[in-house]
Each structure stands twice: as structure tokens, then as C-alpha cells.
Structure 1
Amino acid sequence: MSERRPNVVMILTDDHASRAIGAYGSVVNSTPRIDEIARRGVLFQNCFVTNSLCSPSRASILTGTYSHVNGVTTLETPIDASQPTFVSQLKAAGYRTAIVGKWHMGHGPGHDPEGFDFWDVLVGSEGQGEYWNPLFLSEAGERTVEGYATDIITDLALSWLETLDGDDPWCVLIYHKAPHRPWEPREGSRPRAESVPLPATFDDDYATRSASVRRATMRIAEHLALEDLKTAPPAGLGYEDAAIWKYQRFMEDYLDCVRAVDENVGRVIDWLDARGRFDDTLLMYASDQGFFLGDHGWFDKRLMFEESLRMPLLLSLPSQVEAGGVHEGIVTNVDWAQSILQAAGVEPVERMQGRSFWGDLVASPSPSAPPPAHGMYYRYWENDDASHRAPAHYGYRTRTHKLIYYYNDGLGLPGTGHFTYPPEWELYDLVRDPEELHNVYGDPSYADVRDELTAAMRSEQARVGDLPHPSQGV
């Protein structure tokens, strides 16, 4: 085991679904450089987001806390950047720290990045940034940088690393916009020689699902805007053919954006290898949440279904972690902060809520390592949002089952113009029904499972301090 404190590189993308990564068994594309991290390190099979939206997930990753603690519950709630993060703790312990790329947690006094020696982040498009000739904000002010954002972000990160001297360890967050909508490939849209396979659930009719799920406006067929595809379908297509055409166009651009990410991951790996730093660098690749790639006929995220809930996470640190491993335990984005700090030998702050998984990876874990998680708690706070009408909900997932409660908070209030929607429940047997097609909440044979999950969810809500308002039922 190396005595040198590891450097840290976290490469975070936006909306990169696990099934668009080769190491996770993708049948729609290949990602050889991202896969290399798994080959030289560990792939996490069961990493989940606790609030499937960009800003809340990024806040949880940084602070090691749930949305109700860090305050970033929705896309409209900016972060209090003065709160402690794993980066501020690393900086206090002597690390050089930087973030380049997508921030998306508010801008201005109190909301710009803090705890970083260097920061240069995307602004414009409501914090999303642009793919081409993006606008950046740093302590020196705003400027436009010509080129393609995925390449530029890597350029800026590697340029900062080149300025470092001495033996102090460093941490750099390389946060890409890609492959977030609108999908703008670096090389332009290129027709594929073969069509992209349709997911098995593309024609899902939601027959057993709640009304809360059925009213979400995320169907590719009806709700994916043509301006996102930058072209209109051929004339005369029927409903089904038009839906498939939209899916193919969406996937062409999405996967081309992923290809540019993969190439830039390779640039980072090559930079570390060329300087003999790969072995003593904690290199992480992840997305801030999952994404529906036509699964259940949907695009976007938000809902607690697997494709949205599941985050890809690949990690390497050859000096401490054996290559080629697979981590099967339940992990969430709230766990990352404490895990990184433990890898660096830095104490977490008391308010951090996650479970460090670092002891699961190293050869000699601490005898005081926390036990594996039995399940994970999720809460989506936005309700009936203008873009996708996703319902507010929370739930609990174990290795075998998932319980979801749509409390529909805020609907039916005077003057809102909304109808009143009643609370609803869903329960899925992930062993018998991994595609989550059959809601068995009302099935008497699942009564014991339903009661056990409800009690476990209540216990976890109490543990993390997210006790719902009485109007939210449970």
C-alpha cells in the first residue's frame, strides 16, 4: 500500500445511463476508455441517486448529505456554498483543489464554488452551459471559450494540473455537461449503419401503474420535442413508426455526445499514465443520475424507476484497490464524500450522512467499518413541474423490492390551476419483475413485504431526519 496520499479525479457527466456504458453490458454503444477504469479498478453494480435531478445530486455528492440537509431539493434551489464538502475538507488537509465544467447549483455571492483553489464553471442556459463556444465563469469574470464543451473542460482541467508543483496531493472535479439535452454532437449528427435496438419496455402501457406515473409527460412518442432532434420526421409516418424514428434520432445524437466523453476520459487516463500518476490517483467516473433511454417509452429521469435511479460508478486506485472488482452492495451518491475522505485519510464532518464504502474495497478494512446498507431512501421533491409533470414522491429500495409513495404535495391548492390528485402507492418485486411492469402493492400475497418495507422506510426517514409533513401521509 502506498504511503502517499492519493490524488483525486472525479469525472462526472450528466444523464449518462448505465446501459450506455460498455462495462455495464451496453448493447447500444461501446465506451472503451470509461471501461478501462473498471478493468483497472472496480465497477459498482448497485449505486443509486437519492434525488434524480442534476442540481440535487451534485449537492449530495459534494456535501455527503441528503437534499433536505444541504438545501438543494430542486433545480430552483441554489446551494449555500459555504457548507462543508469533501473538497473543503481535502483543502483543509493540504490538498490543492479545483473544479472545471458544470456547476449548476446557482451563481452569485454565496452560490459560486467555495473550497476550491481554482474554479472555472459553465454559465448560461440556466446553469446548464452550452455545447459550442460555452460561456465560463471564474474569479476573473465571464468569458466565452471557442470550441466544444467536452474538449474544453478537459483542456482546462489538464492545464490546471500542469501548473501544480511540489508534492502536495490534489483533487480536481471534471464536470461535463454531456450528454445532457439538447444533444449536440461534436462531429455533427451521423446516421448509423445499423439502428439502435429498442428497449424491451419501449411500448409499455403502464397498465398496473399509478395515475401519478401515467400523467408524467416523458414519452418519446408524444413529448420529445422536434427542436431537440433538430429535424422533422419523414412525412406520412404512423404513430408507432414516428415514435421509433424519434428514438433513433435521439439516440444517434445522445451516443455521439457520449463518444466525445469517452475520448476525453481517455485523455485524462493517458495524462496520468504518462506521468506515472495513475496508480496513486483515485479516479472516479460517474453520472449525476441515470436516464431513460426509451425504457418504458420515456426519456429524462426524476422517477424512482431503475433506469433513472441507477447511477454508473467506476473507480480505480491501483495502489490500494485490486483491479477487476465488482461491488455488489447498495451505495448512494450521499456515500461518496465520506468514502473519498476515508481514502485520503481525512476525517469527515459530523453532518455527513453517508456510509463510507472504502472499507469494502481495500484489502484490510477497519474493524469499525459500518455494516452494509440494507436498503436506500429516495425522495423527489419537485411536483408537477412544467416540463415533465413528474409527481413528488419518496420510497425505499432493497436488493429485492421497491416501495414508492406518490404524495403529490402542493396540487389542488387554491389558485394553482391544478386538479387534486390523491396519494398513491407502488410496490415492485425486483427479482420476479426486474423491468418493473407490475405494481403489486394491492396484491394480498405481498402484504408482509409491504409492511416490512413501509416500516424500513419510516425507520430510514427518521435516521436521516427527513420526516414528512402529516399532509404527506406516511
Structure 2
Amino acid sequence: MYQNYQIRIVFLLAIFSVLIISCSPQQEETRQPPNIIYIMSDDHAYQAISAYGYGLNETPNIDRLANEGAIFTRACVTNSICAPSRAVMLTGKHSFVNGKVDNVQPFNWDQPNFPKLLQAAGYQTAMIGKIHLDGSPQGFDYSMVLRGQGNYYNPEFMVNGSGKWERIEGYCTDIITDSLLNWLQHKRDPNKPFCALYHQKAPHRNWKPAQEYLTLFDDKTFEPPSNYFDDYKNRGTAAKEQEMKVDGHAQWGHDFKMIVDPNGDSTGFMNQLKRFNQEQLDDWLAAYTPKNEAMKAQKLSEKEVALWKFNRYIKDYLRCIQSVDDGVGELLDYLDKSGLAENTIIVYTSDQGFYLGEHGWFDKRFMYEESFKTPLLVRYPKEIKPNTKIAKLVQNLDFAPTFLDYAGVEIPEEMQGESFRKLVSGETDEWRDAVYYTYYEYPSVHMVKRHYGVATERYKLMHFYYDIDEWEMYDLEKDPTEMHNIYDDPAYADVQEMMHEKLTELRKYYGDSDEMDQKYLKEYLDVMEQRRQAREARQ
């Protein structure tokens, strides 16, 4: 009997030990909701991330997210322009639903967004960097946002909607990174899960590199894309009438950094350099003056000038990205050293893609691949296996519901995106077979015509409207650079019918219509007319 009593005591002690272990701090930590860091750069083309394999540059720190997590190869946006893309990301709703269809319309911060919902669930939230949405940010315990587009050198920031803009000396990319790290280390409550939106201005136009990278790539000549000298045959009016050609629309001063152009005329670029401090200005002039003078002395042919312009553009663009990658590296090092890496979801993406000379262009806006697709890399060690590759059509519409899913927060019915949590973890491969796209900002800068469209994994159908009525369709498997419009090609009659059916289905599903297009067109034209009248009154 005594022996049975001993056995019973040993058994109870074992159970008690298991209970103690299960309630240990280490186990308690695993039950904590994950932290979320959402890194978004502005206009960062997927072609300029070395993990995507284009060979333009090296981004070892961003690549770590692909090597240690997942890389998405067909991630895309719903509206390829800055402010509307950010509104979609926050709200999980298409532009025509959240109301921010272009860079002109106001954004309604009063509507639900995922940071507000995370706040209500106990998260501490921060927004640091560029948001480019008018009004005071809602949903953040701490915000430090750039003024408008922001300046690369000595930019102004507003903290917590104070209404006061403070100039901070230094390079914008570095300031944003340092401010994020300062918030993580000193300003957040370590007892709460956090969500930080870490938003870089770079590499947005007009691509002013940091002092340490002013001469990076000086010893290299880049070959332009094969369609850099595109003549736009087999395409419609929209591709021909845009105003975003590297050789033709980019400016000697603003874009190519010449104080005096090859014709001997002042470009006005010196006015931009007035905000530099003396050290910054000295370094800038020391780097660019010899390069500019050497170009002018060569007396280049028209084609050689076009190639020089491409190289000046791509080098400055990639130089800006080098600082962004440095910042990602500093963040990853901090997460490793602080023990936060395991329970932190890190996303790296851009507000849209960008043209790096494809079709001869810079900028974005079109539904063609380079601006429609966007980089997306996600690391979360607890659920995502290293070197995961996802080829499904994930959109920026899906970020809000995905973050809420990870946090265990109910996803509002009004959000139109889908959580890709189970997709990226490998629990399922079921996903949408088509995505919907809209673009509204015309007539405006770069003159990209209004259009909407639908894309599947292989095909794309677009309708350009307002001052034209034209359709374009592409077979991305046979024509990945979208050089041949196959709309009305008899060989694709069945595909064309299928794509029209998908377009009709998605417009109905998401709540878009021709009437909606006309509504936003009228509002846009009214605002532009008001601005024109205001300019005339000032004059």
C-alpha cells in the first residue's frame, strides 16, 4: 500500500511539473500574438531586388527575407499610384470603395483600417516615414510622417499629428530607419505586441542618393531592357501617348541632375540643392560635376544620349535602394539581438512596381507588368518555411485581412481582400484565379489614360476609356514583355470571351461599374478645375 502511495505521489508530481512548464514564461511568450513590421518603399521595382534574379544590383538584407521566408513572384496592386495604393493597403478595400482613387481626392481616415483594429485588440501601433495621405493618421499610438512626398535631404516630419513640421538634418532613408529603431528600443511598451509601418520615401523620383553612395556604379555601364527603344507598334493609343519616357520626358535638371544642360541652359536644379547643408552640397558637387561635364564634352549621338540618360537614371535609382537595403539590415540585426525575430512577421513590399527603362519608361500607373506587379517578401519563422515561393495572384488588397488573421482579430466583412496566411504557410494552395485593377488619374502628369482590367496567371485584359475606347489583351506566357496586343485575334477568341466574363464577374463582385467611373471622373475634373481657377486668381 505504501508503494502504491509513492507511485501516486510521483505521478502527481510529474503532472504538476508539466503544468508548471506549460505556464513558463517561454511557453507564455509563444502564445503572444505576433509582432508585425510592414516595410514599404516607394516605387521599388521587383527587378531591383536581387532575390528576383534580374542581376541589376545586390540587396543582401532584403534577400534575407526571401531566403528565410517567402518570395511572391506574382504579387500585384489594384491601382498603381502612390496614395491610392496606400489607402488600399490600410483599408483592405478597392480604391472605388475606400474613396481614394487618385492623388487628388481626399482620404477619409474615419473609415476602419487594420491598425485601428489592431489597436483595439491590444497592439501598440506606429507609423514612421511616408504615408502621402492627407489628414492626420488614425490608428497609431505613435506617428512620424513625412511632409507630402518628402525630401531626400534634411526632410520635414510631423509627430503625432501635432500640426508642426520639424526639419531634421540628414538623409531621409537613414532618418526613417533610425526613428523606427528608436521607437522599437525606447518608446514602445515591451509588454504589448506591436505593429510598425516602416515606410521609406526611396526610391521615389527624383532619386537623390545618400552621400556615401554618390559614386556607386560609376565604374559600370548598364544595358537597357530589350524594349527600351520601343516603337509601340501592335499596341493601342495609351502606350503611344504617355509622357513617361526616360529619353523624352525626363528632365535634364530634375531627373538627370545637371545644373546646366548640354545646350548651355540653366535647368533650375541648383534650387533643389539649396536645402543641402555645406558638407552635403560639397559632396554632391564633387560627385556629379565631373560626370556631367564629361558627358557634355563627348558630343554624343541621339542614341548615345538616350543610353546615357538610361544609365544616369538607373544608377541614381539603384543608389537610393542601397540605403533602403542598409536600413533593412539594421532592423534585422536589431530583431536578432533583441530576441524578437522569432515572433515577428516582417513584410517587405512597395506601393507598386516601377519601370526601369522597359518600353522606354520610368514611373508606373499602367496595368502592364512592371508597374502592376510589386515586390513582396515575408518572413515569419513560426509558420513560413525558408525559401518558400508563391506564384499566386496576391494583391495589396490582402495585407489588411492577412495581418488581422495573424493577430487573431476578426476581419470586417467590408474588407475585400483575403488573408494569404494559409497560402504562405503551405496549408493550402487554393487561391483566386483572377484579380481586378483600376487607374483613374487622367488627364494629369505622365498622361496615362484611365483604364481598368483583369489578369489571370496567364492572360491580361485592359479597357482604356474616357477620351478613347480601346481594348488590349496579352498572353503573358508567350509575350511576357507585352509587346503584342492580341485583342480581336481570332486565335484567341475563346480566351477573349473568357476574360470578358471574368472582368464582368469581378466588377460586379467588388462593386465597380461604369457609373462609378463617371462619378469619380466628374469629381476629379471638378477638383482640377478648382485648382486651375485658384492658380489664375493668384496670378
TM-score (norm 2): 0.81
Q: Which residue of 1 aligns with 2:136?
A: 112
Per-residue displacement from partner, 1:292-347 (whole Å, max 9, x unpaired)? 00001111000111001010000001012111101111101001110111111111
SS in structure 2 of the partner of residue 303 of structure 1: coil
- Provide closer, same or farther for how the CA distance between residues 73 and 218 of structure 1 changes in structure 2, counting only shifts above 3 A: same
Are 1:424 and 2:464 counterparts? no
Give the secondary structure class of the aligned counterpart of 1:226: coil
Cα deviation for residue 471 of structure 1 reads 8.6
In 2, Cα distance between equivalents of 1:405 and 1:363: 35
Cα separation, 2, equivalents of 1:17 and 1:66? 22
What amino acid sits opposite 2:167 in the alignment?
A: T
Corresponding residue for residue 298 of structure 1: 361
Q: Look up the match of 1:224.
A: 250
CA-CA distance at 1:192 after TM superposition: 2.2
Contact 1:28 1:197 in 2 (8 A): no
Q: Work out which of the two has the higher radius of gyration on C-alpha atoms and give 1 or 2.
A: 2
- The amino acid that maps onto 2:157 is F
2:181 aligned to which of 158, 163, 175: 158
Q: 2:131 is matched with which residue?
A: 103
Q: Provide closer, same or farther for how the CA distance between residues 263 and 423 of structure 1 changes in structure 2, counting only shifts above 3 A.
A: same
Q: How does 1:321-400 map to 2 (within 5 A)?
A: 321-362=384-425, 364=427, 371-385=430-444, 387-400=445-458
Matched, 1:213 2:271: no
- The 8 Å contact of residues 21 and 31 in structure 1, kept in 2 or not, is answered as yes
Larger mean CA deviation between 390-399 and 133-142 belongs to 133-142
2:54 is matched with 26
Between the aligned partners of 2:188 and 2:372, the Cα distance in structure 1 is 37
The reply on whether 1:457 has 2:498 as its aligned counterpart is: no
Q: Distance in 1 between matches of 2:517 and 2:325?
A: 46
Structure-2 residue corresponding to 1:254: 317
- For residues 508 and 438 of structure 2, the distance between their equivalents in structure 1, rounded to whole angstroms, comes to 14
CA RMSD of aligned residues (A): 1.5
Q: CA deviation at 1:112?
A: 1.2
2:303 is equivalent to residue 240 of structure 1: yes
Counterpart CA distance in 1 for 2:111 and 2:504 is: 27
Partner of 2:14: none
Specify the SS of the correspondent of 2:377: strand
Q: Could you tell me how far 1:224 is from its partner in structure 2? A: 0.9
Partner of 2:158: 137
Q: Distance in 2 between the 1:148 and 1:225 partners?
A: 23
Aligned 8 A contact 2:80 2:353 in 1: yes
Instruction: Name 1:412's counterpart in structure 2.
Output: none
CA deviations on 1:363-418 (whole Å, 9 max, x unpaired) are 556xxx9x411111000011121x211100001110111101001x2xxxxxxxxx
Contact 1:46/1:310 (8 A) holds in 2: yes
Contact 2:247 2:306 in 1 (8 A): yes
Q: Do 1:77 and 1:105's aligned partners in 2 also have CA atoms closer than 8 Å?
A: no
Change (3 A) 1:471 1:357: closer
Aligned-partner residue type, residue 104 of structure 1: H
Give 2:450's aligned amino acid.
A
Structure 2, unaligned runs of 5 or more: 1-26, 262-294, 519-539
Question: Shift in Å at residue 469 of structure 1?
Answer: 2.6
Partners of 1:447 and 1:64 in 2: how far apart?
Answer: 34
| Structure 1: gaps (5+ residues) | 410-420
Separation (CA, whole Å) in 2 of partners of 1:269 and 1:326: 21
Aligned equivalents of 2:449, 2:434: Cα separation in 1:
22
The aligned counterpart of 1:170 is 194
1:70 aligns with 2:114: no
Q: Deviations over 1:439-458 (max 9, x none)?
A: 01021111111111011001
More helix by share: 2
The structure with more strand, counted as a fraction of residues = 1
Q: Percent identity?
A: 41
Matches within 5 A, 1:274-289: 274-289=337-352
Task: Report the Cα distance in structure 2 between the residues aligned to 1:220 and 1:9, rounded to whole angstroms.
Answer: 34
Say if 2:218 is the partner of 1:189.
no
Note the C-alpha offset of 1:248: 0.3
For residue 159 of structure 1, what is the amino acid of its counterpart?
A: N
Structure 1: distance between partners of 2:456 and 2:45: 21
Distance (Å, rounded) in 2 between the aligned partners of 1:256 and 1:445: 45
Following the alignment from structure 1 to structure 2, what is the Cα–Cα distance between the partners of residues 182 and 293? 13
Deviations 1:116-161 (A, max 9, x none): 00001000xxx10101110001234221111001000011111111
For 1:470 and 1:89, the matched residues in 2 are separated by 28
CA distance in 2, matches of 1:194, 1:166: 46
How far apart, CA to CA, are the structure 2 residues paired with 1:362 and 1:425? Answer: 38
Task: Confirm whether residue 149 of structure 1 aligns to residue 172 of structure 2.
Answer: yes
Q: Which amino acid aligns with 2:437?
A: Y
1:186-225 residue CA offsets vs partner (Å, 9 max, x unmatched)? 0253152121121111111110100122000111111111
Amino acid of the residue matched to residue 116 of structure 1? F
- Alpha-carbon separation, structure 2, partners of 1:359 and 1:428: 30
Distance 1:173 1:432, change over 3 A: same
Inter-partner Cα distance in structure 2 for 1:271 and 1:441? 52
The alignment's TM-score, normalised by the length of structure 1, stands at 0.92
2:462 corresponds in structure 1 to 404
Secondary structure of the 1:97 match is strand
Contact 1:189 1:252 in 2 (8 A): no
Q: Distance in 1 between matches of 2:334 and 2:325?
A: 14
Instruction: Write the distance in 1 (CA, Å) between the matches of 2:170 and 2:348.
Output: 23
Report the Cα offset of residue 348 of structure 1. Answer: 1.3
Q: Which amino acid in 2 is paired with 1:58? A: R
